[in-house]
Chain A
Amino acid sequence: MNRLTKTLSDLKDNNKKALVAYLVAGDPDISSTIQLMNLFVESGVDVIEIGVPFTDPIAEGPIIQKAHDRALKNNISLESIFSMVSEFRKHNNETPIVLMGYLNTFIFYKKLIEENKNNAIDSILVVDIPGELNLKDYGIHSPNINTISLISPTTQINRIESIAKNSTGFVYYVTLRGVTGASNLDVNEISNNVEEIKKHASVPTLAGFGIKSVEDAKLLSDCSDGIIIGSSIVQMIEESSKSKEFDRIGNYLTEIKKAIL
C-alpha cells in the first residue's frame, strides 16, 4: 500500500491528526537535508514534504524563495532529489514522502518519475496546475505515485467536488489568499471551507500555508485532518545553515505535534 495512504488512514483510525513538515531539497546541502528528514521523523512528523527547487516559484513567499535559490546554487535537480530519497530510504521505509514543485521540472524529468525506483516517492503535488488535473494529463504515468490537489479560499463551490475527487493522497486546503509564509489566517473561513471539502473528498483534508505558532497549529488541526508547516521551518533552517545545529527545529516540531494530538 502507498505509504501516504497507509499513514493517513492509520492516523484517522486512531483519531489523530497528521503533521506534515516541509523543507527544500538541498538547502543548505544534501547531507543536511537527509539529517533534517531524520530529525523530522524523530520529532513526530508523519509526512515529509520535499520542495523541489525552481527558478521561478510563483506561489512562494520570500522565505521559501530564498531557500529555492540556495538549493539551486548547489545544483539540485530532480535527479539529485531522487538519489537523496534513495539514500534516506536505506534506513527509513515507512515515512511517506511528497514532492512539491512546479510543473516544468516534473515534465522535464518524466522518465525519472515514471520509473520511481523502489517506490521511493509516494506523492507529488504540482503547485501550478488546475486542481482537476494531475500528472497523467501531462503524459506522465506513475500509478504508484498519488495526487495531492490544492483547494483555496477562492475556489468556487462548483469545482470543489471534482478537485476533491482528483486527489488520491490528500486534499491540501490552502488556508489563505497569498503565498507561502504569509500571515492572514481566517479560522472561520477555513473551518467552513474544510467542512465543505470533506463532504466530497474520500481522502483526508489537510491545511497549510501560513501556519507558524503552536496556537495556529492547534486551531487548524481542530477543523482538519492535519496540518502542513513550511516557511517557519525553512526560516529556522536558514538561521542554522552555518552551524548545522538543527535541535531547535526538532523541539519546535515536537511541541507542535503535542499540541495537535
Chain B
Amino acid sequence: MNSNKKTLPDKNGFFGDYGGKFVPETLMYALEELESTYKKLKDNPEFKNQFYKDLSEFVGRPSPLYFAERLTKHYGTGSIWLKREDLNHTGAHKINNTIGQILLAKHMGKKRIIAETGAGQHGVATATVAARLGLECHIYMGSEDVQRQSLNVYRIKLLGAQVHAVDSGSATLKDALNEALRDWVTNVDDTYYIIGSVTGPHPYPMIVRDFNSVVGEELINQSKELFNSMPNAIVACVGGGSNAMGAFYPFINIKETRLIGVEAGGEGVETGEHAAPLNDGTPGVLHGALSYLMQDDTGQVKGTKSVSAGLDYPGVGPEHSWLKDSGRAEYVAVSDNAALKAFHEVSEFEGIIPALETAHAFAYLDTLMKEFDKKANIIVNVSGRGDKDINTVAEIDGIKF
C-alpha cells in the first residue's frame, strides 16, 4: 500500500506538531480500545476482504475516473478528470469511512452508534451502515444545518436513525461534534462514535484517512490506465478534510502530483467571514486535536460562514496542518459566490450536479487551469452529489417550489 518510510502519525497521534488526544479522561480508555482494535484488524486479511467486499458490492466501488470533456474545452488547457465519489451509494465519499468504522464497531461488540453531521452526508452514511447491522443509531446535527439540509434529515430518519438537533453555540457542525462527544462521554461503555472526517482525537484522523484512502489508491491505477502517467494535480475541497486526505494520502510520495485543498472562503477570506482555518487561522486545540483553527484574540473559537454546511467548520484535520507546514500540499480558498457559479457551470457543462462542498474544488479550476498546458492531467475529487443542496441553491436564486 503506502511506502512512506516514516509513517505518521507517531505513537502519540502527532503529525509533526499537530494532532494528539485532547479529550476528557473518561474517553481515554475508549480511544485506546479503538486504537488497539484497529491495529489488530487493519492488516488482517479477513477484515480487509470484508471491507473491500462491502465497498464493491454495497457502495459500488471502484468509482470511475471520468474525462470531463466540455469542462476541459471550456478552459482550453489541461485535461480535467473527475473522480466520481458522487456515484457512491448514498451520494458521497463519506460512505467509505463508515463502511470501515462500522466493521470496527461490530468487532468491538458495540450496540449503539453515534455520529455528528454537517451537510447530512455523513449522517446518512452512518445511518445506512447502522441499518445494515440493525444497530441503534443517533445523529447529532446543528439546528441551522437541520434546516438547510432538510432532505438529508429525512433520509436519516427513513434509515431508522434518530436525529438530534443541536441548538448550542453556532448550531452548526462544530456544535454537533461537541454534542456527539458529550453523548460518547456519557454512554462510552456500549457506544461507538463514528467520526465523519479526519478530525478529532487520535486515532480517528488516521483511521478515517486509511479507510478513505481507497480513493487515492484507485486513482493511482486509473491514472496509469487512462493517461499513462501520474496526474499533475489533484484538487479537493477541505472541510474537516476527509475526501481530500483520502485522495492525497497515497500520493504523498508521488512528488510530481500537486495536492491542492480548497477551503470555504465564505464572504471572502479578507472579510474574516469564512471557514478557512488553513488560510486564515492559527494553531489551537478543538475537538481533541491540535491543528489550524479559527480563533479570536482571546483564544475562543470563532464563528464560521459558508454556504456549504459540510465545510462550515472552524477546524481542520491535523494531517492537513502538517501537509501545509511541510509544503507538501497547497491550501487555497474560494468564496461562496465562486462556488455557486461553479455549481451551475459544472451542472450545465457536464450533466453532473455537484455538492456545494465539491463546487468549491471546481471553482478553483478558474485559477488553476491557467497554470497548465494541454499535456497536463488534473483530477477533481467529486466528493458528492448536489441533490441535498437543491433547496439552498434555489433559495439563493430566488426560486420557490
Would B299 and A105 count as touching, CB distance under 8 A? yes
Per the CB 8 Å criterion, the residue count for chain A at the interface is 43
Stretch among A57-65, A87-95, A116-124, A234-242 lining the B interface:
A57-65
Chain A hits for B298, CB < 8 A: 75, 77-79, 105, 108
A72 (CB) vs chain B CBs: closest residue = B300
The smallest beta-carbon distance between B304 and chain A, in angstroms, is: 12
Query: Secondary structure of the A side of the interface?
Result: loop
Would B186 and A103 count as touching, CB distance under 8 A? no
Would B300 and A179 count as touching, CB distance under 8 A? no
Q: Does A104 contact B (CB under 8 A)?
A: yes
Q: Which of B182-235 contact A (CB under 8 A)?
A: 182, 185-189
Q: Pick the contact of B299 from A104, A151, A153, A182 — CB < 8 Å?
A: A104
Query: Secondary structure of the B side of the interface?
Result: mixed
Q: Which of A103-137 contact B (CB under 8 A)?
A: 103-105, 107-109, 127-131
Q: Which of A62-83 contact B (CB under 8 A)?
A: 62, 65, 69, 72, 75, 77-79
Q: A46-64 vs B: 1/0 string, CB under 8 Å?
A: 0000000011111111100
Q: Which of A128-154 contact B (CB under 8 A)?
A: 128-131, 149-154
Q: Which of A168-208 contact B (CB under 8 A)?
A: 174, 177-179, 182
Would A58 and B301 count as touching, CB distance under 8 A? no
Q: Does A35 contact B (CB under 8 A)?
A: no
Chain A hits for B188, CB < 8 A: 154, 177
Would A107 and B285 count as touching, CB distance under 8 A? yes
Q: B1-32 vs A: 1/0 string, CB under 8 Å?
A: 00000000000000000000111111111101
Q: A208-250 vs B: 1/0 string, CB under 8 Å?
A: 0000000000000000000000000000000000000000000
Check A108/B295 contact, CB under 8 A, given A72-B300, A128-B288, A177-B185: yes
Chain B hits for A131, CB < 8 A: 25, 28
Check A65/B24 contact, CB under 8 A, given A104-B284, A178-B186: no
| B contact residues vs A (CB 8 Å cutoff) | 21-30, 32, 168-169, 174-175, 178, 181-182, 185-189, 284-288, 293, 295, 298-301
